[in-house]
Amino acid sequence: ITSEISSLLIEELIKVFNESCKDIDGIIIEDYNKGALPKEIIYHIINHSSEHEIPVYVDPKYDNYECFKGVRLFKPNLIEYNAIVRNKQFGSLPNSGFKFKEFIESDILLLTMGADGMSLYHNNQHNQIPTKARNVYDVSGAGDTVIATFAINDLCGLDPLESSTIANLAAGRVCEEIGVFPISVDSLKEIFSHHYNMD
């Protein structure tokens, strides 16, 4: 079911957002095209966050993607990305990623590509990060895990490649479980030690 929220509710949500912003280090926006994030709210969040130097991390859908210009991280999956760029003359990946990043004006563009891992664009560089899933049983929540893990590492001062690498490991770990599986520090350490020398 998709329906726009009322103008009264929009005003109330903006009020709550403004009151909460004093204690916020970063903002993750998950847009599911269900009507809870009309353009008025998106623009307000982006503008207010920019004024207060609060980084915004976005997992977009097609309808409102242009509202998210200038964010810290723009993270579509490959299906969403292809829907967004299909009418633009950006060419094919990986080169189209540079053109799209310039268009969306994000600091970082991170494409999640399922079994093909992730494609990271930042500082005029492109890094392809292979998937690290060992046994995939359920991909539910993988995209949410990526953006949450990336954001926390980015806010802690890791560079985009480090943040993406850890987010990739976290996504691989949750795919090994049936149903939605919240990533923990211990489970992340376990999969990290499986793939990398921890000595």
25 burial level (CB within 10 Å; 0-12, 13-18, 19+): exposed
Report the interhelical angle of 39-51 vs 7-20 (nearest 10°): 20
Q: Where are the alpha helices (DSSP H) in 52-184?
A: 78-85, 95-104, 142-155, 160-174
154 has catalytic annotation: no
Tokens standing for residue 116: 């093909």
CA–CA separation, 36 and 69 (whole Å) = 19
Name the active-site residue from 63, 107, 144, 154.
Answer: 144
- Just list the catalytic residues: 144
